[in-house]
Every structure is written in C-alpha cells, then in structure tokens.
Amino acid sequence: MSPKAEIEIVRSVADLRARVRAWKSAGLTVGMVPTMGALHEGHLSLVRLAKTRADRVLASVFVNPTQFGPNEDFDAYPRDEGRDAELLAGAGCDLMFAPTVAEMYPPGASTTVTVAGVSEPLDGQARPGHFAGVATVVSKLLNQGQPDVAVFGEKDYQQLQVIKRLVADLDLPVEVLGAPTARAEDGLALSSRNAYLSDAERAQAPALGRALKAAAAALKGGARVDAVEAEALAAIQAAGFSSIDYFEVRGASDLSRLGPGPIVGEARILTAARLGKTRLIDNMGV
Ligand code: AMP
C-alpha cells in the first residue's frame, strides 16, 4: 500500500507568512484557495485549477463566524480537519492554513470591509451582514497569504463578484480566478451543507439545478424574464422547496436586475431556496 499523502498545517499568520516568503524568495508563484472546510470535490477542483496557475498552492480552512447571521448554522457547520487535510494532500495542495478564531480576530479587531452595489441584492438582502463578513475575511486571508492567484467557485457567484470588486477597489495584487460549479451526477451543486439533507430531501434537491437549466434554455430561446422567473418559482415550489429567497435573472458582472422582457447580453440566473431547514443556493450563466 502506498503511504498516504501528508500536508503541513500552519495555524498562525506568522508561520503562514514565513512559508510563503520562503517560496517567493525561491522564485515560486503562489496560489490560494480559501475554504470553510468540510471539503468536497468542488473545493478540490479549485485546488487543481490553482495548481495549473501557480507553483505552490495553499488552502485555508476557517469557518468564519462573521459571515454567519445570529440564527444561522455557525455552530452546526460540519468540521473535520483530519479529513480535510487528507483530501487537500491528495489533491496536491502544499500547505493548509487553519487558524483559530482568536488568531483571525484578536481582541480589539474593529475593521470591517463592505462592498457596496454588488453585495446588496439577493444574498445581501436574505443574509444581512453576510457579505461584509466575507469581504473582511477574504481581505485578511489575501493579505496574510499574499498569493499571486486566488481561486473561488462560481457556485457562490455573488460572492465571486463581491471579491472581484473588492480586489479591484483595494488594489490588492492578486489575480482572482472563478472556477465552474462541480455537481453530482443528478445535477445538484456540491456543497458542504448538502450533508444536512435527509434522504428524501436529497432526492428533491436536484429540482433547483433543473429549474436553472430550463430557465437558461428558455432565455436563450428568447423567452421573457418575467415569464421564466414565474415558471421557475412554480417548479421549485412544486418540487417541495418550502421558502424561496429568490430566483432572479441578473446582469452577469454587476448583478443588476434584468427584464421584464427578453435578455440582451450576458446574464446570470441565481436562486436560493430551503428544503426543510437546509438553505441551498445555485446559479447558471446564459
Ligand atoms: P466554502 O467552503 O463553501 O466557503 O467554499 C470555499 C470555496 O469553494 C468557495 O470559493 C466556493 O465558491 C467554492 N465551492 C464550493 N462549492 C463548490 C462547487 N460545488 N463547485 C465549485 N466550487 C465550489
């Protein structure tokens, strides 16, 4: 049996900086993949993409409390550091940064990064404060790791646009790459939160991806945005989703509202809905 791949884990910003400094002084480029752990094939596809673009890849595993609302699943969020480390090592990741909450937010920490505009609609409305938490922790992680390239998933499409905006606005010296959404065979977007689904809910869940696919095809065929959105809402409800935060067709980069007529130019369809207690999000380009 071949020995299991291993990965070095660092927990302090100082140790992370020392490793990255050593790589850079050897002339190596650095890619970074920020995650909240509970890793799956989607996360690993980001690591593999980063490896094609940088000599060394580091992944952070940090369940960031500031991006969870008071009634959200911060405590319940799945955590398994040993498994995450094994998966990262197997994907060829070179270093795992797993800081504590106290390392990331020492007493007295008082700065929040907010991105206006693109972070306001959709999840910005449904999850007040979420994107400020994301923008703050991503700004910190990018400053801590100082990567040349950072990879984020299109699965969290609005988050990707928020991060692109903040990197441009703050002149952060990093290239942001978006990676396509990894899906299960039945089309369900992979997510750490899929672990919350019961067997019955897991069987209902692919309806969200199917509604996006049908909407994308209809829009491509020249259908009106208002009709497509109404049809998708009805389909998702009929599939057993209990509350639908949104199913909307938006501009692909600024997420401005499109419609009510047929789309012109590049659009993104974004949705968030609950199956039981589990909130699922997904999106698709047109
Ligand atoms: P998370 O750990 O859920 O915060 O996600 C960490 C990174 O992985 C983010 O950039 C996500 O967009 C990305 N990601 C999560 N799920 C997927 C997926 N199914 N396909 C591609 N990327 C994903």
In tens, the pLDDT along 104-117 reads: 999 999 999 999 99
Q: Mean pLDDT across the chain, nearest whole number?
A: 96
Residue 3, pLDDT > 80, answer no
For position 52, what pLDDT does the model report? 98
**pLDDT interval class at 1 (50, 70, 90):** low
Per-residue pLDDT tens over the stretch 242-257: 899 999 999 998 999 9
Q: How far is residue 159's CA from residue 278's CA, in Å, rounded to a whole number? A: 19
- Counting every residue written for the chain, the total comes to 286
Residue 2, pLDDT > 90, answer no
Q: Is the CB of 13 under 6 A from ligand 1?
A: no
- Ligand 1 probe mutation, 46, 134, 142, 164, most atoms within 8 A of CB: 46
Q: Is the CB of 60 under 6 A from ligand 1?
A: no
CA of 278 to the centre of ligand 1 (A): 17
For position 261, what pLDDT does the model report? 95
- Ligand 1 probe mutation, 62, 155, 181, 282, most atoms within 8 A of CB: 155
Question: In angstroms, what CA-CA distances link 207 with 60, 94, 124?
Answer: 32, 37, 24
**What's the token pair of residue 155?**
């699965």
Q: Ligand 1: which atom is nearest the Cα of residue 152? A: 10
Q: What is the largest distance, in Å, between two alpha-carbon atoms of the chain?
A: 60
Q: Report the sign of the C-alpha dihedral through residues 251, 170, 102, 8, in that order.
A: positive
**pLDDT interval class at 4 (50, 70, 90):** confident
For position 259, what pLDDT does the model report? 87
Residue 260, pLDDT > 60, answer yes
Q: How far is residue 132's CA from residue 123's CA, in Å, rounded to a whole number? A: 12
Q: What is the CA radius of gyration of the chain?
A: 19
Q: Is the CB of 137 under 6 A from ligand 1?
A: no
For position 218, what pLDDT does the model report? 98
**7, 96 contact by CB (below 8 A):** yes
Give 112's contacts (C-beta < 8 A, 6+ positions apart).
66, 132, 135, 136
Residue 195, pLDDT > 70, answer yes
The DSSP code for 190 is P
Q: In what order do the strands lie in the sheet with 56-61?
A: 8-10, 95-97, 56-61, 30-35, 149-153, 175-179
For position 242, what pLDDT does the model report? 87
Domains and CATH numbers, the chain: 8-179 (3.40.50.620), 198-285 (3.30.1300.10)
Nearest CA to ligand 1 atom 17: 42
Q: Is the CB of 156 under 6 A from ligand 1?
A: yes
The DSSP code for 5 is P
> Against a cut of 0.95, is the pTM above it?
yes
Per-residue pLDDT tens over the stretch 58-102: 999 999 999 999 999 999 999 999 999 999 999 999 999 999 999
CA of 226 to the centre of ligand 1 (A): 29
**119, 158 contact by CB (below 8 A):** yes
Closest listed residue to residue 137, CA positions, set 99, 171, 108, 168: 99
Q: How far is residue 268's CA from residue 191's CA, in Å, rounded to a whole number? A: 19
For position 61, what pLDDT does the model report? 98
Residues catalogued as catalytic: 43
What average pLDDT does the segment 147-171 reach? 98
- Ligand 1 probe mutation, 156, 161, 279, most atoms within 8 A of CB: 156
**What's the token pair of residue 170?**
């703050």
